[in-house]
Chains A and B, each alone.
Chain A
Amino acid sequence: AQTVTQSQPEMSVQEAETVTLSCTYDTSESDYYLFWYKQPPSRQMILVIRQEAYKQQNATENRFSVNFQKAAKSFSLKISDSQLGDAAMYFCAYRRDNAGNMLTFGGGTRLMVKP
């Protein structure tokens, strides 16, 4: 079974600084997809960024980028120029290919942004 591990229960960053959230996963599959979701106090899970395992290039969405290391099974999220609105729970998720939208989530990292 696939597992997703987020080893940092909490992280803190100064406004305008950069922070990196860690995620590792365990799978025997070669084709799969990885996601980062943000859950603010409103509780709605919002997709931040996604990465296809067959793509070597790291995904980027504005201030958010990932460092995908397939051999190491690592998928970290970098947030640049952190803003107060970035404060939230962040969840890493895995989906194997042809598995519909059935995601396996990590335990989450709470990000605090200091003004």
Chain B
Amino acid sequence: ETGVTQTPRHLVMGMTNKKSLKCEQHLGHNAMYWYKQSAKKPLELMFVYNFKEQTENNSVPSRFSPECPNSSHLFLHLHTLQPEDSALYLCASSQAAGGAPNSPLHFGNGTRLTVT
């Protein structure tokens, strides 16, 4: 049990499909994050939610749409993606986005997305 659970573990979708990635944390944290991990590139922060409010959008294209209905759940809705969006999408949580590093990030196992 990682404390941060992501589903599905793998996802293959066509460019015209609509799908959603789900993240759930069982740690009582108030901040949640989406990161993108592409091959041969450093992890890139996509979105940050703090107490259900989006506090950071790192210039992410609108074909990625996040949703945070409560502090325990985070979604990433996908539509009309491109093949270059294929990557590992990692969710993370922490006590609060403005906290000290005594509130480290806890990551899930990621969703491996392939866009065909």
Contacts and interface: CB of A to CB of B under 8 A. Distances in A.
Contact of A50 (B56, B97, B101): B101
B108 A100 contact: no
A4 B45 CA distance: 14
A101 to B, nearest CB: 5
Looking at chain B's contact residues, is the secondary structure mostly helix, strand, loop, or mixed? loop
Interface stretch (B15-23, B36-44, B65-73, B75-83): B36-44
A44 B112 CA distance: 12
Contact of A105 (B2, B42, B98): B42
Contact of A44 (B50, B98, B101, B110): B110
Q: Which of A103, A104, A106 has the most CB of B within 10 A?
A: A103
Interface residues of A, number: 23
B66 to A, nearest CB: 15
Interface of B: 2, 31, 33, 40-43, 45, 48, 50, 55-56, 88, 90, 92, 94, 96-99, 101, 103-105, 107-110, 112
